[in-house]
Amino acid sequence: MKQEKLVIVGSGPAGYTAAVYASRANLNPVLYAGNVPGGLLTQTTEVENFPGFPEGIQGFDLVMAMQQQAERFGTRVEYDSVVKFELTDGGVQTLHLESGEIVETRALILATGASPRYLGLPAEERLRNHGVSACATCDGAFYKDVPVVVIGGGDSAMEEAIFLTRFASKVYVIHRRDALRASPIMAERAQANAKIEFVWNSEVEDILGQDHVEGVRLRNNRDNSVREIACRGYFAALGHVPNTLLVKEFIATDEKGYIKVAPDRSLTTLAGVFAAGDCADPHYRQAITAAGMGCKAAMDAERYLESLA
């Protein structure tokens, strides 16, 4: 059994910012990087809106720089995942790791992020990694000169669609409404791209193909007409669900599963447990807001640990 003062769970901008602040405050934190080291930023392309990078920066490079910065001040980054939490109000927090190790800590920062949402069709499960993906950056290159579909109408859908035009012969963006949720700048870029075709008011009824994706069957929700589109890739860009399944039984979450924190703070319903980033942010979900929340969580944890001394 390992004893720690402060454990940070999650390795996106929230986790690493918390780590930078906590290690500079001599709290000697250990950070468990989780199943997706670097988090969602490693699955995006260029980040254009993180202040300080006027030319933009690749998401992967940004989060790696954050990791280096945290390690420079002494954060111990461990490539392990928490498989079970036992959380208490103001007591010792216990973490069971995938490696089998058990860790006890006085303060815990949850920065577990969010995972891509799927529609919930059985075919999405069956054909996962056989044409079904939620990460164009990871899988886009497999779809050279073949048509693909992107489901969704937000910024992620625009970004994925634009990226996929590098490889695919054609990219269909399938959206359930006739207006995009995406920001105007992203929407305009996608609409100006000759390889992208928008399919409006359409919902995916099924994905066609037994062993690999061969197409999608769509229902138009205005006139109920059914249409099939042949494609080899199916990219879900439907937003995200917070990674809070393992902590839900201990701390309050909202109806969508986001961890509830005190207004403008990182305090959860348990003393000694703090939350930051996408797992606790139903509103903004930006790299920069996650980083800001990580900073708050480290400062709140520092004050909490001081209060115990």
Query: What positions carry a catalytic annotation?
Result: 135, 138-139
Degrees, nearest 5: CA angle 195-136-39 = 150
Binder of ligand NDP out of 26, 49, 88, 225 (CB under 6 A): 49
57 binding ligand NDP? (CB under 6 A): no
- Comparing CA positions, the residue from 203, 283, 200 lying closest to residue 239 is 283
160 makes contact with ligand NDP (CB under 6 A): no
Q: Please list, residue by residue across 144-164, b when 16 or more beta carbons sit within 10 angstroms of its beta carbon and e when fewer do.
A: eebbbbbbbbbbbbbbbbbbb
Nearer to ligand NDP, 108 or 186 (CB): 186
Q: Which is nearer to ligand NDP, 159 or 302 (CB)?
A: 159
AA letter at 243: N
Tell me whether residue 238 or residue 291 sits nearer to ligand NDP (CB atom): 238
Query: What is the rounded distance in angstroms from the CA atom of residue 142 to the CA atom of residue 60?
Result: 20
156 binds ligand NDP (CB under 6 A): yes
Q: How many CB atoms lie within 10 A of CB 52?
A: 7
Q: According to the binding rule CB under 6 A, does residue 88 interact with ligand NDP?
A: no
Of 97, 100, 78, nearest in space to 86 by CA: 97
Residue 124 sits in the site that holds ligand NDP (CB under 6 A): no
At which residue do the structure tokens 């929340």 appear? 293
Contacting ligand NDP (CB under 6 A), which of 4, 124, 139, 155?
A: 155
Q: Work out whether 177 is an interface residue with ligand NDP (CB under 6 A).
A: yes
Identify residues 207-266 at the interface with ligand NDP (CB under 6 A): 237-240
Q: Among residues 110, 111, 163, which one has the least CA distance to residue 134?
A: 163
Strand-pair partners of 216: 207, 229
CB of 256 to ligand NDP, least distance (A): 11
Closest separation between CB of residue 224 and ligand NDP, Å? 16
Residues near ligand NDP (CB under 6 A): 49, 119, 152-157, 159, 176-177, 181, 183, 186, 237-240, 285
